[in-house]
Amino acid sequence: MHTRISHLALAGAALALTATPAFALEATGFADKLVEVSRFMGVSLDYGSATAEGDTITLANFTLAVPGEDLVVIPGEIVFEGVVETPDGGYTAERATIADIAFTDEDEGITLTFVDILAEGISLPAEITMDTMIDVSMDLYDRVSAGPLTVAKEDGTELFAIDTMEAWVENAAADGGITTGYRIAGVRADLSAFDDAEAQEVISAFGIAQFGAELSGEGTWWPDTGRAEMTDMSIVLDELGSLSMNFAVEGYTRELYRELMKINLKMAELSEAGEEIDEAQMERLSQSMLAEFAALKLDSASIRYNDASLFMKALDFAAAEQGLDGATFAQGLKFTVPMLLAELDNANFSEMVSGAVNAFIDDPQNFEIAAEPAQPVGVEEFMGVEDDPMLLIDLLNLQVRANQ
């Protein structure tokens, strides 16, 4: 019995060591790790004080620096709850919150409010180096969310709002894929408040005095193979239509990710030094990024429009500008498009596009343009089509279809 009790005590002690609450002594260590991690994301953070009470750490006087821009002061305190120090010296936190934001511009007579800002499943590594950050950067949080965000007049009349914004990261699946996603829902605007006469003409023609939308997307990266996919990145316009995009690339390797992190660190260094990015520096950064992306290969891509009413409204509006009705204008398009395509000197492609355009005009359901190359196309191959963009038709095996 004595032996069993001893074993239980040792087990309990071991369990306690794997989840040690962060006390005041570690508050600064936690905050410093957060600041250092942010540099690998291209952001320069700073804080005035870090205090701890139990497993809650509070950071005050938090600031964010961006090269060439004024220092951004984050109002209120950032509170991390359920903070635990891991055996290797890293930290985890169950959640982090920022005080609700309320700002009034008295000159413009509008008020902005932004509430319920939250991050969950936060993880800070023990060692923060280029090598460790490649693996842990996709595991820094499980989910961030915020909203509603509202912009209103002094009398409370809502001008613009977003109900919810969220982004998430899912841990690596059995095949090694890391999935990330985002959703921005309940986007709405009162466009009737615009004073411009031309703008009101468009708003009236499209019936969008009260505008609504939603944005979303999800993608997966397989760091071991270098494949990355973005699936159904979409914009939905209420009662008008939607646009969705998909693509898949190869060559997005850990090595490429490392080089992009180096650029992030350079941006953070410029921020910390209070330096602006001049044209020469921006050119060097741009060239550096282009050089890294040269290793990528496009496997597939598509953009698809699903109509709900927007096309006919656009047709009627364009026709009215020329003193025509929508039906007459539509027939004119069916006649004009083949004439324009004749200049391509690609009979098969011209016939495919003309057929899709005619089908969509007659019955506007959906329209899609897709790149379906037989083999992944390297970025460097795109450089050879600058003088003749029409070469992309065969290079990417472009497909155009409607109502499928």
290 assigned to some structural domain: no
How far is residue 384 CA from its own chain's centroid?
Answer: 30
**Residue 81 reports pLDDT greater than 60:** yes
Query: Which amino acid is present at 112?
Result: L
User: Six-digit token pair at 72?
Assistant: 């951004």
- In angstroms, the CA 266 to CA 259 distance is 11
- The predicted-structure confidence for 174-188, as pLDDT tens digits, reads as follows 788 899 999 999 999
334 assigned to some structural domain: no
User: Six-digit token pair at 73?
Assistant: 């002061």
- The predicted-structure confidence for 290-331, as pLDDT tens digits, reads as follows 777 888 999 999 999 999 999 999 989 988 888 888 888 888
Residue 18's pLDDT is what?
36
14-27 residues labelled b (16+ CB within 10 A) or e (exposed): eeeeeeeebeeebb
Residue 1's pLDDT is what?
33
Mean pLDDT, rounded, of the chain: 85
Query: Which DSSP letter does residue 214 get?
Result: E
- In angstroms, the CA 8 to CA 375 distance is 60
Q: Which residues pair with 98 in a beta bridge?
A: 78, 117
63 assigned to some structural domain: yes
- In angstroms, the CA 264 to CA 38 distance is 9
Cβ–Cβ < 8 Å for 159, 188: no
- The helix (run of H) or strand (run of E) holding residue 45 is strand 44-46
Report helix, strand or coil for 198. Answer: helix
85 assigned to some structural domain: yes
Range of the structural domain that residue 148 is part of: 20-157
Compute how many other C-beta atoms are within 10 angstroms of the C-beta atom of residue 145.
Answer: 15
Query: Which amino acid is present at 215?
Result: L
165 assigned to some structural domain: no
Compute how many other C-beta atoms are within 10 angstroms of the C-beta atom of residue 57.
Answer: 28
1 assigned to some structural domain: no
143 assigned to some structural domain: yes
> Could you identify the residue written with the tokens 């600041």?
35
User: Measuring CA to CA, which residue among 387, 239, 232 is closest to residue 301?
Assistant: 232
Question: Averaged over 35-58, what is the pLDDT?
Answer: 90
Cβ–Cβ < 8 Å for 220, 233: no
Question: Averaged over 122-148, what is the pLDDT?
Answer: 86
pLDDT band at 3 (very low <50, low <70, confident <90, very high): very low
Question: Averaged over 129-133, what is the pLDDT?
Answer: 78
Residue of higher predicted confidence among 196 and 328: 328
Residue of higher predicted confidence among 283 and 333: 333
Q: What's the CA dihedral at 156, 158, 160, 163 to 10 degrees?
A: 100
93 assigned to some structural domain: yes
pLDDT band at 15 (very low <50, low <70, confident <90, very high): very low
Residue 43's pLDDT is what?
82
Tally of CA atoms within 13 A in the half-sphere of 236 that contains its CB: 12
Residue 182's pLDDT is what?
96
- The predicted-structure confidence for 324-338, as pLDDT tens digits, reads as follows 888 888 888 888 888
Total domains present in the chain: 1
- The helix (run of H) or strand (run of E) holding residue 229 is strand 227-237
Q: Report H helices in 41-128.
A: none
Compute how many other C-beta atoms are within 10 angstroms of the C-beta atom of residue 375.
Answer: 8
Q: Is the Cα torsion angle 319, 320, 323, 324 positive or negative in sign? A: positive
Q: What's the CA dihedral at 258, 263, 269, 271 to 10 degrees?
A: -130
> Could you identify the residue written with the tokens 């309320």?
102
- In angstroms, the CA 32 to CA 46 distance is 9
DSSP secondary structure string for all residues of 256-318: HHHHHHHHHHHHHHHHHTT----HHHHHHHHHHHHHHHTT-EEEEEEEEEEESSHHHHHHHHH
